[in-house]
Structure 1
Amino acid sequence: MSGGKSVFLDVDSTILEKRLLMEDNDDDFDFLNPSSEKDVCPWKLVTPKPGLCVKTRNLSTGEKVFINVCTTGGIPDPEDISEAALVQILSSDDPTTFRVPMSINEPYEHPDKSGKPSTVYDVAISTNFFTKMNSSDIFRPFVIQVIMDGLQSKYDISLESEEYSVLKNRKAMGALRPHRVQQREVDSRAREPLIQEVYPPVRSPAPAPCREPRYSLVRSSRCLLADFRVDDVVSSRDLTLDVGEDRIILEGKKAGYLLDIFVPYCLDQDKTSARFNTDTKTLHVKMPIVSRSQQNT
């Protein structure tokens, strides 16, 4: 879906940048001294869930850029206002009275559908606010525009912010990273930043050696059927399955299983179903295939 600037978004870019409720931290996080002045405010790691994925490009390099707008309950909601109130605020003398709390992670590289390198940014917002903005033709383009302006300001890049698209069959590009969010009391009247961005990126401990489960893939007329044999898994609760547009990731941390494969089909992740047979220790997955006419260009 293409996105363009609507009338209510045609405002000075500096106004949009000020609406980002986040904090730039140009100092390295001190892992050796967690009680240092740089980390006075308590924080916690939150792992967001996929929301939507915006595809655009870097105007300087021509490289594809993907923005994962993800959700978490660890970030506070902005002020609850109506669409009409948002339009009125943007037209007022002080449009910065409405701000969107968000957390921006460090960029990382991930191949696009054709295998070419692209840059991915994870931006987390409140789960409740995402639900509200994603169903609104006014809030959704507004928030996407604010996020793009924030990325351009923070990383000194130039993004195509008018001719972008929201992927129809993929909610996230790559694996979402944890966010380090400061725990501060939210004051809607406060002017100082309330959200701590991840800077530098949080590094997880090196994973233990993993093994691939035995598996088979069979295409029927409209679906891709997969069987994954995981002999050392007791319950489906010990498995994590992530089906993307053309990628399947299966992980069983306790048993040491990890499978990450690409498939030559466009999969409908929203309609994918899975069933774990405890007798045969096999995970059966049914993934509908999206026809070419339905694919997002």
Structure 2
Amino acid sequence: MAGKKGNDSLLSLDAKEEGELPEALKRNLLLQQPDTFEKDKTDLSPKQVTPEPGFCVKTKTEKDEKVFINICKSENVPSPKDITDEQLQSILQSGDATHYRVPLSLGEPHIEKDNSNHDCTVYDVIVGSSFYDTIQSRPIMKDFLLTIVLEGLEEKYSLRLCRECKIMKNRKFLGNLPEQNVRKAPKPFIIEMEEEEGKGNSKNKSTAAVSTAPEPEYTIIREPLDGDIPEYLVMEIKLPKVSTSKAISLDVGVDRIEITVRPNLYHLHVDLPFTVESNETVAQFNRDSQILFVTLPVNGIVVENVL
């Protein structure tokens, strides 16, 4: 719900009122955390980014400690694919946020002084400039952003933040806006789900050219099912002998996918029915079900009339 108090906008993002965030939405957050990726200096290519002021949000911890969040913008952070309010509402209602990710950078906390000259904790969050412009006229998108920002900060820094957020009307940011190291995550990457504290691992390694390993059972689903060309191909690969994503290597080309599981447990090569955006592929390994989910954005070119 939204309301007013003084000169500041008040947003209620209370999980108790709206229901706990769906697991798919929480997994979405893991895709945005720079620290969930293994540190590979060659692949991650860190870049120092100076945040541009946007707006400031005030909230507090479960211990009643003041917290301010500077929502900033930068051209160096990519913006998500544009979707309509109706599409976003449908995603939130279905609980399937797997296919919609908002790239953002979560900065380290720093101590600043509030208007009463008291110490408070400040976090800087950077989103893409065009996405920032979009949320200014779309309340549902702004609420969605604030929800995943709060969830992201909680996940990264082991916090519990109040969902009663005040958007400061006359303040674009609090304190200083230090530079952030924004890393470009290697793609495709594998996020390991259900791991302790939600931390994930990523892999982006070439698979072996020849393998004697058995082929795992898999399915490919079009999404949406209707129409000549889907927006995504979603693969589900069953890996019953695998307990961690660290054993999995994933290689995606424009019209094929290859998966190898060490040591010689599985090998899979599949020619895809459509060409895909290999750099936008997202993979998630569920340790409980031992299933690897791979989402492949289709770029619209039919390779073979299957599915």
Which TM-score bucket, shorter chain as reference? 0.5 to 0.7
Residue number in structure 1 paired with 2:54: 51
Residue number in structure 1 paired with 2:67: 65
Amino acid at match of 2:151: D
Contact 2:32/2:105 (CA < 8 Å) preserved in 1? yes
When residues 18 and 9 of structure 1 are mapped into structure 2, their CA distance, relative to the original with a 3 A threshold, is farther
Residue number in structure 1 paired with 2:219: none
**Secondary structure of the corresponding residue to residue 132 of structure 2:** helix
TM-score (norm 1): 0.56
Which runs of 5 or more residues in structure 1 are unaligned? Answer: 30-36, 193-297
Shift of 1:183: 3.6
The one of 91, 99, 102 equivalent to 2:101 is 99
What percentage of aligned pairs have identical amino acids?
A: 33
Query: Deviations along 1:254-292, whole A, 9 cap, x unmatched?
Result: xxxxxxxxxxxxxxxxxxxxxxxxxxxxxxxxxxxxxxx
**Secondary structure of the corresponding residue to residue 54 of structure 2:** strand
* Cα distance in structure 2, aligned partners of 1:58 and 1:171: 21
* Cα distance in structure 1, aligned partners of 2:92 and 2:171: 31
**Secondary structure of the corresponding residue to residue 18 of structure 1:** helix
When residues 125 and 185 of structure 1 are mapped into structure 2, their CA distance, relative to the original with a 3 A threshold, is same
Amino acid at match of 1:16: L
More strand, by proportion: 2
* Cα distance in structure 2, aligned partners of 1:51 and 1:135: 14
When residues 51 and 143 of structure 1 are mapped into structure 2, their CA distance, relative to the original with a 3 A threshold, is same
Shift of 1:191: 3.8
Q: RMSD between aligned alpha carbons?
A: 2.7
Residue number in structure 2 paired with 1:171: 172
Residue 2 (structure 1) aligned with residue 10 (structure 2): yes
Shift of 1:44: 1.3
* Cα distance in structure 1, aligned partners of 2:44 and 2:107: 19
Residue 16 (structure 1) aligned with residue 25 (structure 2): yes
* Cα distance in structure 1, aligned partners of 2:111 and 2:81: 34
Residue number in structure 1 paired with 2:282: 190
Which runs of 5 or more residues in structure 2 are unaligned? Answer: 1-8, 188-278, 285-307
Contact 2:154/2:160 (CA < 8 Å) preserved in 1? yes
Amino acid at match of 2:171: R
**Secondary structure of the corresponding residue to residue 94 of structure 2:** coil
Contact 1:13/1:149 (CA < 8 Å) preserved in 2? no
Residue number in structure 2 paired with 1:148: 150
Residue number in structure 2 paired with 1:84: 86
Contact 1:15/1:96 (CA < 8 Å) preserved in 2? yes
TM-score (norm 2): 0.54
**Secondary structure of the corresponding residue to residue 94 of structure 1:** coil
**Secondary structure of the corresponding residue to residue 3 of structure 1:** strand
Shift of 1:95: 2.1
Q: How many residues align?
A: 183
